[in-house]
């Protein structure tokens, strides 16, 4: 066999290098979502596309970290657990516009930014848990939570938590700040204990007869009813009602994603977002995380479907986001957490 010429060696080396570059396609994901909730999705994305996902879990300080990293930030996609953080990233100038027919056709207009800077990927409704034994409840409005008939009967987590800040902001969007303050004072007067803990604690305290109803997210019911024995008791002690505003629908919060302003792998970043909005990925959101898919027509988990039809409030999330600062100020003004 003749030895390879220098030219042949060069060509072979270039081909090998090209192949290694092709195999090295990757995308860097910064996320505030717990890895266990999204790992199946990321694994399937890599299997489908060959693009490796490098995941950095950041519990707190996502915005501050990316801002500090500046133009050298390796972040391609930032995925958050609520829309407030998405809006903060956009307003801080840390995102870029994505123009994707795939995303725009899959995700309804009220669940994405009009300018393409953020997209919702899954939803959870802000629901009311009610004691199966003590509180027959088939329907309720958010406004009714301030009714004195619920005095000393409501449990809820901190008013400053993003889930509640978003709900209060939605109330402001519907009724204005003055009425929202009156409502919030009414809800505070009805609390059975100080606003604290988490959403699962609401179900626990309903079982423990501390309160009769509470405000919490829908997906926690799925995790409780399929969890350990203790959490199953909490989840099975409650019925779930999907409240509505008197002049609107049920308030939802979302997990969602943006593409970083300085994304080094922009093509792969958009590719990841489009995958997460696909029928297959949306079904995984529903099955693994007990969330509502944002894409219409995707099947919902039976536990979540048992709560009845979700009629999403029509106010855009971006419009609700404008009232978050006012909502936090109201929480402090009425001393909601004390």
Give the model confidence (pLDDT) of 29-82 as tens digits.
Answer: 999 988 778 999 999 999 999 999 999 999 899 999 999 999 999 999 999 998
As a whole number of angstroms, the distance between CA 294 and CA 105 comes to 11
As a whole number of angstroms, the distance between CA 128 and CA 137 comes to 9
Which H or E run contains 15?
A: helix 6-23
Domain ranges of the chain: 24-123+254-300, 124-251+311-333
Q: Hey, what long-range contacts does 97-100 have (CB within 8 A, 24 or more apart)?
A: 98/259, 98/270, 98/273, 100/270, 100/273, 100/274
More confidently predicted of 277 and 20? 277
Q: What is the pLDDT of residue 11?
A: 41
Band the pLDDT of 24: cuts 50, 70, 90: low
* 24-123+254-300 to CATH, choices 3.10.129.10, 3.40.50.2300, 3.40.190.10, 3.60.130.10: 3.40.190.10
Average pLDDT along the chain: 92
The span from the first CA to the last CA of the chain, in angstroms, equals 86
Which H or E run contains 54?
A: strand 52-57
pTM of the model: 0.87
For residues 228-242, average pLDDT:
98
Digit-coded pLDDT (tens) for 67-99: 999 999 999 999 999 888 899 999 999 999 999
Partnered with residue 154 across adjacent β-strands are 191, 213
CB 251 within 8 A of CB 166: yes
Q: Lowest-pLDDT range, 19-33, 175-189, 260-274? A: 19-33
As a whole number of angstroms, the distance between CA 238 and CA 221 comes to 9
Q: What is the pLDDT of residue 277?
A: 98
Q: What is the pLDDT of residue 6?
A: 47
Structural tokens at position 267: 């093509």
For residues 311-327, average pLDDT:
93
Torsion of CA 18, 19, 24, 25, to 10 degrees: 80
Digit-coded pLDDT (tens) for 145-184: 999 999 999 999 999 999 999 999 999 999 999 999 999 9
Q: Lowest-pLDDT range, 12-16, 219-223, 273-277? A: 12-16
* 124-251+311-333 to CATH, choices 3.40.190.10, 3.30.420.40, 3.40.640.10, 1.10.1840.10: 3.40.190.10
| Centroid of chain to Cα 157 | 17
């Amino acid at each position: 066999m003749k030895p390879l010429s220098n030219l042949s060696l060069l060509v072979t080396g270039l081909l090998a290098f090209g192949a290694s570059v092709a195999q090295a396609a990757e995308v860097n994901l910064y996320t505030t979502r717990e890895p266990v909730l999204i790992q199946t999705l990321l694994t399937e994305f890599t299997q489908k596309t060959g693009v490796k996902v490098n995941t950095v879990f950041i519990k707190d300080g996502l915005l501050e970290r990316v801002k500090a990293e500046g133009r050298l930030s390796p972040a391609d996609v930032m995925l958050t657990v609520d829309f407030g953080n998405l809006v903060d990233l956009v307003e801080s100038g840390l995102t870029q516009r994505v123009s994707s027919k795939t995303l725009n056709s899959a995700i309804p207009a009220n669940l994405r930014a009009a300018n393409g800077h953020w997209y919702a990927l899954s939803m959870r409704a802000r629901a009311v848990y009610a004691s199966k034994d003590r509180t027959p409840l088939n329907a309720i409005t958010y406004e009714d939570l301030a009714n004195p008939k619920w005095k000393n009967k409501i449990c809820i987590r901190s008013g400053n938590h993003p889930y509640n800040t978003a709900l209060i902001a939605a109330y402001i969007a519907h009724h204005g700040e003055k009425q929202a303050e009156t409502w919030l004072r009414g809800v505070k007067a009805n609390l059975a204990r100080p606003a604290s803990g988490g959403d699962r604690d609401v179900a626990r305290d309903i079982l423990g007869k501390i309160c009769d109803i509470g405000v919490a997210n829908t997906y926690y019911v799925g995790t409780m009813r399929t969890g350990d024995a203790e959490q199953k008791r909490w989840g099975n002690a409650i019925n779930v009602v999907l409240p509505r505003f008197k002049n609107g629908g049920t308030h939802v919060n979302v997990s969602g994603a943006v593409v970083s302003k300085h994304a080094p792998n922009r093509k792969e970043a958009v590719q990841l977002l489009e995958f997460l909005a696909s029928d297959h990925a949306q079904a995984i959101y529903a099955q693994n995380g007990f969330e509502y898919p944002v894409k219409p027509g995707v099947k919902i988990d039976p536990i979540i479907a048992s709560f009845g039809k979700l009629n999403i409030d029509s106010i855009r999330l971006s419009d609700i986001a404008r009232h978050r600062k006012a909502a936090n100020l109201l929480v402090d003004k009425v001393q909601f957490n004390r």
